[in-house]
């Protein structure tokens, strides 16, 4: 028996078919979308065409995440370190972001997606800030998937930002030193009100975090693939979820 999503209800790998347990779909998936440049190089294309192909993958993965009932999808689109790239590439990424938002937001809205961002967007070109704010305003009352775009995002920068804000609240008398706990810190991160990621996926073979969601991934499950982001398909997402569903999460405790 297959359920309405086309998957069997119990876990199995029969006939190479991925069968997901629809009762334990992860709430939050975060993705380090790596390998756009290498994908383009392999094809003798400019790196920017790798990023353009990467946008197509975002489109497919958002659709699949919505179909699977995932609540939060965070994608690492531009890190605080990515400013070190040549200006042409940085500009192309900003342009792709604007094009993506202008072209997709109506469709995302009709799918019930909330389009949010994390990171210090005040350093992005004005047009990017405007389109991000417009997208959020249009979609903020939806109750489907939250697509969380990490832009000028860095985990250390986020923690620093939280420490400064907490210190400021102490200075203003709104908070005391003894009241600071993990919840207070979480509340001052860009991801406020978003649960910690259940899985962090990284494409293109590297096995590192690259300053992504440092606080939030304390107990996230990691999943790596050699597949480069432009080649990442919905079946790869399903594989990651399948592996996640077969892991034993103990959060430092015992079963």
Binding site for ligand FPP (CB under 6 A): 33-38, 51, 54-55, 58, 77, 82, 93, 96-97, 100, 149, 204
* Nearer CB in complex with ligand FPP: 150/240: 150
Is 51 assigned a ligand-binding role in the annotation? yes
* Least Cβ distance, residue 144 to ligand FPP (angstroms): 18
Helix H or strand E segment including 135:
helix 126-139
Catalytic status, residue 248: no
What are the percentages of helix, strand and coil residues in the chain, rounded to 5? 45, 15, 40
Whether residue 247 is annotated as binding a ligand: the answer is: no
Known catalytic residue at 34: yes
Closer to ligand FPP by CB, 133 or 167: give it: 133
Pick between residue 33 and residue 166 the one whose CB is nearest to ligand FPP.
Answer: 33
Residue 251 C-beta: closest distance to ligand FPP, Å: 30
| Cα–Cα distance, 77 to 33 (Å, whole number) | 7
Q: Is 107 annotated as a binding residue?
A: no
Is position 37 annotated in a ligand binding site? yes
Closest CA to 74 of 121, 128, 118: 118
- Of residues 3, 21, 82, 246, which has the active-site annotation? 82
CB of 19 to ligand FPP, least distance (A): 29
Q: What residues have CB less than 8 Å from 14, skipping those under 6 apart?
A: none
Q: Decide: 248 and 255 in contact? Cβ < 8 Å.
A: yes
Task: Name the residue number minimizing CB distance to ligand FPP.
Answer: 37
Active-site choice (34, 148, 198, 236)? 34
Q: Considering the complex, what minimum distance in angstroms separates the CB of residue 204 from ligand FPP? A: 6
Residue 241, token pair as written in the block: 């979820």
Q: Whole-number minimum distance, CB 211 to ligand FPP, in Å?
A: 12
- All residues at 6 or more sequence positions from 91 whose CB lies less than 8 Å from its CB, including other chains: none
**Residue closer to ligand FPP (CB basis): 62 or 199:** 62
Structure token pair of residue 255 = 């079963």
Nearest to 109 by CA among 145, 74, 150: 145
CA distances from 157 to 92, 95, 170 (A): 24, 24, 20
Considering the complex, state which of residue 166 and residue 204 has its C-beta at the smaller distance from ligand FPP.
204
Residue 255 CB contacts under 8 Å (≥ 6 apart), including other chains: 248
Residues classed as catalytic? 34, 82
Q: Write out the binding residues for Mg(2+).
A: 34, 221
- Going by the annotation, the residues of the binding site for substrate are 35-39, 47, 51, 79-81, 83, 85, 202, 208-210
């Amino acid at each position: 028996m297959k359920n309405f999503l086309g998957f069997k209800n119990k876990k199995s790998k029969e006939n190479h078919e991925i069968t997901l347990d629809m009762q334990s779909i992860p709430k939050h998936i975060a993705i380090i979308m790596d390998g756009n440049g290498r994908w383009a190089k392999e094809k003798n294309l400019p790196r920017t065409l790798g990023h353009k192909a990467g946008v197509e993958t975002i489109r497919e993965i958002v659709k699949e995440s919505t179909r699977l009932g995932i609540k939060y999808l965070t994608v690492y689109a531009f890190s605080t370190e990515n400013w070190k790239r040549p200006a042409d590439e940085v500009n192309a990424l900003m342009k792709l972001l604007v094009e993506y938002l202008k072209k997709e937001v109506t469709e995302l809205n009709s799918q019930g997606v909330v389009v949010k961002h994390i990171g210090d967007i005040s350093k992005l070109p004005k047009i990017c800030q405007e389109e991000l704010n417009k997208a959020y305003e249009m979609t903020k009352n939806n109750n489907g998937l939250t697509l969380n775009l990490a832009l000028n995002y860095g985990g250390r920068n986020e923690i620093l930002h939280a420490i400064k804000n907490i210190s400021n609240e102490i200075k203003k008398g709104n908070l005391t030193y003894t009241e600071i706990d993990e919840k207070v810190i979480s509340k001052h991160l860009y991801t406020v009100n978003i649960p910690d990621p259940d899985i962090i996926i990284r494409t293109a073979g590297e096995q590192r975090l690259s300053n992504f969601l440092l606080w939030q991934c304390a107990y996230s499950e990691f999943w790596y693939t050699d597949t480069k982001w432009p080649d990442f398909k919905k079946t790869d997402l399903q594989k990651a979820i399948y592996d996640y569903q077969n892991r034993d999460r103990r959060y430092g405790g015992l079963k």
